[in-house]
Amino acid sequence: MMVEVMELPKSRINASMLAQSIDRPVCFVGRLEKIHPTGKMFILSDGEGKSATIELMEPLDEEISGIVEVVGRVTAKATIMCSSYVQFKEDNHPFAPPLRNLSFSLSVRYSEKEETPHHIWHPNRDLSTEGK
């Protein structure tokens, strides 16, 4: 299953899109909030303060912290069954979680099978004034 998800396009989602993404391969970026004592589950919060529960087939074999990007499939319970993850380096530069609109843009764009995604951004859109 791990290999299978790797070969497929993954939608980048935030927590509010989990319910609509059941059974789909997804990519989720969030900050580590909590690890379950068994090491087989952890919670990540997204850029909008909502959380996703990440389940693992095997317990974690290392310490994880900070920003984690998870690749996996959304379960019927709207958790993510993780097939792989990477930790974002924050030693020298803190990571600014993308605005909600970015995850939306990415999801729409990259769900297309062909060529260039459509431009979602309006050129005059001022991101600095948009809320999270």
Long-range contacts of 104-107 (CB under 8 A, 24+ apart): 106/11, 106/12, 107/11, 107/12, 107/13, 107/17
Nearest to other proteins of 37, 58 (CB atom): 58
Q: Applying CB under 8 A, which residues contact other proteins?
A: 6-12, 16-17, 20, 27, 67, 71, 86, 88-93, 95-96, 98, 100-102, 104-123, 125, 131
Q: Closest approach of Cβ 91 to other proteins, in Å? A: 8
Kindly provide the residue ranges of all beta strands, DSSP E only, lying in 2-114, ordered along the sequence. Answer: 11-13, 25-35, 41-45, 51-55, 67-74, 80-87
Nearest to other proteins of 36, 69 (CB atom): 69
For residue 130, the 8-state DSSP code is: S
Q: Closest approach of Cβ 117 to other proteins, in Å? A: 8
Nearest to other proteins of 118, 128 (CB atom): 118
